[in-house]
Amino acid sequence: MSQSSIDSAKAQELLDSPHLASGIKKATRHLMPMLIILYFVAFLDRTNVGFAEAALEADRGITAGAYALGAGIFFIGYALFEIPSNLLLTKFGARFWLARIAITWGIVASAFAFVTDDTMFVILRFLLGVTEAGLFPGVIMFLSEWFPNKRRVQMFALFYLAQPFSQMLGAPLSGGLISFGEQVTPWAGWQVMFFVEGMMAVAAGIASFIFLVDSPQKAKFLNDDEKYALKAVMEHEDAIKDEDGPRGIWPAMINWKVWYFTVIYFCLQIAVYGTTFYLPQQVAALIGKDVGWEVGLVSAIPWAVGLFACYYVGKNATTVRRRRTWGTLFFIITGLAIFTSAWAGANHQGFIGILAITVAVSAFLSTGPISWSFPTSFLAGAAAATGIGLINSLGNLGGFVAPIMRNGVNEAIPTESGTWGVVSLGVFAFLAAGMFWGTRFFRAKADDLLKEEPAVPGH
């Protein structure tokens, strides 16, 4: 009997298997720490440029326009090489390919310590995107091959914890390295920060080659029953995806659902990177301090709160109804919080501003794992490599658009605090909210493997 012919009772029996539960626990314990470390360093290396903005302008003459272009052009290189990288991951395996990605981007990240002018800055930002391309979608695809739909959002949420960890710990780390470099070494503080944090990625890449495992069947930490349980439930889900979703590279590229979630992810990234790229400078203005240790500590607050919000939502978003409702709500909250932070900056309300940024970060962190549960419920095989890569690559162009749009709006409507530039980013969160709620009109067959909550009358 084919996996696609297994009835719902048999499917539920697979999901309720104690061997599956123990296999998932072991896989979580062995795989997630390394994946979190990889994304921790990746997110740190792509956003630490915010701590060096003023110093780069003073020491190397990097202009505001070049900074905005460099901050965003990362995502052009990222987008161009995302799908090829994801397809190569399926050929070489996650263990080797994720290690390659980390080592090469770490070398480029360290090279920022030697930036001399606008051109070199922009080129290195582009190369950083090229070398990091494939990490995030590769991990998303990797997790969708290890964990069933019902537990996938929880795994995505654990992976997403690297973002708040990288900013909660990375913000004071970056600020501290800058202060250390200025006071103790003969180099500029920003040079020390870039070099040390780049080398952290190289070390993480070497470690990932040692600790990651390509598939359950190759995992020595699983017994035979656990391997069988994971293999059976994942094959059943993949069979359903093959019936429900596109098959192959080109069908995935033209699938309307893939493009629908690409637009949603694009809007999300505008909100995310519109906040994170300028967070240190925005916090510095709100508390009246220069970028350094104190700003690093305050910048960590939103991420510390977001860590708990992301974990709670990931653990409890176990039904389609919850995922859709919570995702829509969090997008709305993100937009409102960004608007509030803009008002607080214009009116010198430091406490309200930090509180609004904290709410925005918590909301968009919680939305990310939920968003990825939808495309991974109908994409499998080469279609997954292509579709997930397309969503992430084009969606991440929001990170290219955000700083340039914010800078352009501020130049068109100049204010002391850059209020309208911030507001322009928040608008996209509301567009994403409307589209996310629209997912109620279509669903994947794999969603039937989730235990739904009782229907609410009138819905």
pLDDT tens for 8-51 read 566 667 777 888 889 999 999 999 999 999 999 988 887 788 77
Q: What is the DSSP string of 92-114?
A: H-HHHHHHHHHHHHHHHHHHGGG
- Cα-atom radius of gyration of the chain, to the nearest Å? 22
pLDDT tens for 165-221 read 877 787 778 888 888 888 888 888 889 999 999 999 999 999 999 999 988 888 999
Q: How many CB atoms lie within 10 A of CB 93?
A: 17
Q: Is the dihedral of CA 133, 139, 140, 146 positive or negative?
A: positive
What's the pLDDT score for residue 1? Answer: 39
Q: Torsion angle, CA of 282/288/292/295, rounded to 10 degrees?
A: -60
pLDDT tens for 324-345 read 899 999 999 999 988 888 887 7
Mean pLDDT of 414-420: 75
The token pair that represents 343 in the structure block? 């008002």
pLDDT at residue 7 above 60? no
Q: What percent of the chain has pLDDT over 90?
A: 25
Under a CB-based contact definition with an 8 Å cutoff, are residues 199 and 110 in contact?
Answer: yes
pLDDT tens for 67-104 read 878 877 887 888 889 889 988 998 899 999 999 999 99
DSSP at 417: S
pLDDT at residue 61 above 70? yes
pLDDT at residue 3 above 60? no
Under a CB-based contact definition with an 8 Å cutoff, are residues 289 and 179 in contact?
Answer: no
pLDDT tens for 221-265 read 999 999 988 888 888 877 777 676 677 888 888 889 999 999 999
pLDDT tens for 146-171 read 998 878 888 999 998 888 887 778 77
Mean pLDDT of the chain: 83
pLDDT at residue 359 above 60? yes
